[in-house]
């Protein structure tokens, strides 16, 4: 397993300690080098990403957020997919609107998680046709104009690709790290590879990779590797990325997403829930290792 925080990749930062002027480290991704960045009351900021669409980023982001909240952590979730927000549906909050207090948005809160999504602000069926600068400014508003308060974890559910939204987030906040979600299939790997290299370029550590839709368990207990076998795990090993776990295909996960009742809550004791919880535990472990390495 590779180290999660390779000092050598942070060529623009020569910082070794904590008592420094943050302004001289504006291009460095280290958490401790970004004292001038927003969200100072948030201990850990995690991006859930993948180059490829439809692999389960939002599903994992939702269930990770709930797993963390169930441990007693204070958790927020930003739906950064401005073009196709999923969080309002996945939390059963399609018609909900946030309050505004002194020009700031108050995040909605459900299942112990604070939430913000473009879907709470505009009709979810309206196509967002913004160009780069508008997209960046909307993301910055989600970061700076929302009353997040003290949080242990703030999770960004990213859209697919490696575009303006990903880059804006990486440059605006001090990301603790990114979790890559992928299916095991070969066609996903090229996109995953692009996502990994993008995060490395902008000095965001990769916390690890979660393989989603790893297999489908048939009634007789055998496993059908519908999207290929162990593709994500093999990619992680060959690319020096920690492997955080596998989540099987489960009809109830899809149903939970569509019904607004996240799977972790409706099936807390299932094998699949345990697999998700295990991946969440690994995320927390990697975050702790990263922070220890930064001390
Ligand atoms: N492990 C799983 N088992 C069954 N269905 C799943 C699983 N993971 C995700 N799904 C379903 O697959 C579809 C895509 O998942 P999701 O929306 O989370 O992907 P995404 O990567 O966020 O997509 P996008 O790139 O469009 O944002 C959804 O219908 C979701 O309910
Ligand atoms: Mg999504």
Q: Which architecture characterizes domain 42-293 according to CATH?
A: 3-Layer(aba) Sandwich (3.40)
Ligand 1 center to 60 CA (angstroms): 8
The pTM is what?
0.89
Q: Where are the domains of the chain?
A: 42-293
Burial 169-201 (b: 16+ CB within 10 A, else e): bbbbbbbbbbbbbbbbbeebbebbeebbebbbe
Ligand 1 center to 86 CA (angstroms): 10
Q: Identify the bridge partners of residue 145 per DSSP, sorted by sequence position.
A: none
Q: What is the full per-residue pLDDT of the chain (295 aa) written as tens digits? A: 333 333 333 333 333 333 333 333 333 444 444 567 889 999 999 999 998 999 999 999 999 999 999 999 999 999 999 999 999 999 999 999 999 999 999 999 999 999 999 999 987 667 677 777 888 999 999 999 999 999 999 999 999 999 999 999 999 999 999 999 999 999 999 999 999 999 999 999 999 999 999 999 999 999 999 999 999 999 999 999 999 999 999 999 999 999 999 999 999 999 999 999 999 999 999 999 988 887 7
Q: Kindly report the number of other CB atoms within 10 A of residue 137's CB atom.
A: 11
**Cα gap 204→9, rounded to integer Å:** 10
Which phi-psi region, left, alpha or beta, contains residue 92 (left: φ > 0; alpha: ψ -120 to 50)? left
- Rg of the chain over CA atoms, in angstroms? 18
On whether the CB atoms of residues 154 and 44 are closer than 8 A, the answer is yes
**Cα gap 120→103, rounded to integer Å:** 16
Which phi-psi region, left, alpha or beta, contains residue 213 (left: φ > 0; alpha: ψ -120 to 50)? left
Ligand 1, CB cutoff 6 Å, lining residues: 53-59, 81, 84, 86, 159-160, 212-213, 247, 249-250, 253-254, 257
Q: Which of 145, 132, 134, 140 is nearest to 156 (CA)?
A: 140
Task: List C-alpha distances in Å: 240 to 45, 176, 231.
Answer: 22, 18, 14
């Amino acid at each position: 397993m590779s180290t999660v925080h390779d000092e050598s990749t942070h060529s623009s930062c020569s910082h070794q300690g904590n008592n420094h002027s943050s302004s001289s480290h504006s291009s460095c991704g280290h958490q401790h080098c970004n004292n001038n960045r927003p969200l100072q009351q948030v201990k850990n900021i995690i991006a859930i990403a993948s180059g490829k669409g439809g692999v389960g980023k939002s599903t994992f982001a939702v269930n990770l957020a709930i797993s963390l909240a169930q441990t007693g952590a204070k958790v927020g979730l930003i739906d950064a997919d401005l073009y196709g927000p999923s969080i309002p549906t996945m939390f059963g909050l399609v018609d909900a609107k946030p309050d505004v207090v002194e020009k700031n948005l108050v995040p909605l809160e459900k299942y112990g998680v604070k939430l913000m999504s473009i879907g709470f602000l505009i009709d979810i069926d309206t196509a967002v046709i913004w160009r780069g600068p508008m997209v960046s400014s909307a993301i910055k508003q989600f970061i700076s104009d929302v009353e997040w308060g003290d949080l242990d974890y703030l999770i960004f559910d990213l859209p697919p690709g490696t575009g303006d939204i990903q880059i804006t987030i990486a440059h605006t906040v001090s990301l603790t790290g990114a979790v890559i979600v992928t299916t095991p299939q070969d066609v996903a790997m090229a996109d995953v590879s692009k996502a990994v290299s993008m995060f490395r370029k902008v000095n965001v550590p990769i916390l690890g990779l979660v393989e989603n839709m790893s297999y489908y368990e048939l009634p007789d207990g055998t496993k059908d590797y519908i999207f290929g076998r162990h593709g994500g795990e093999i990619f992680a090993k060959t690319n020096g990325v920690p492997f955080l776990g596998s989540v099987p295909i489960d009809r109830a996960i899809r149903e939970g997403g569509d019904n607004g009742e996240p799977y972790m809550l409706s099936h807390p004791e299932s094998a699949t829930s345990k697999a998700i919880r295990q991946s969440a535990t690994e995320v927390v472990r990697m975050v702790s290792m990263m922070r220890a390495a930064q001390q």
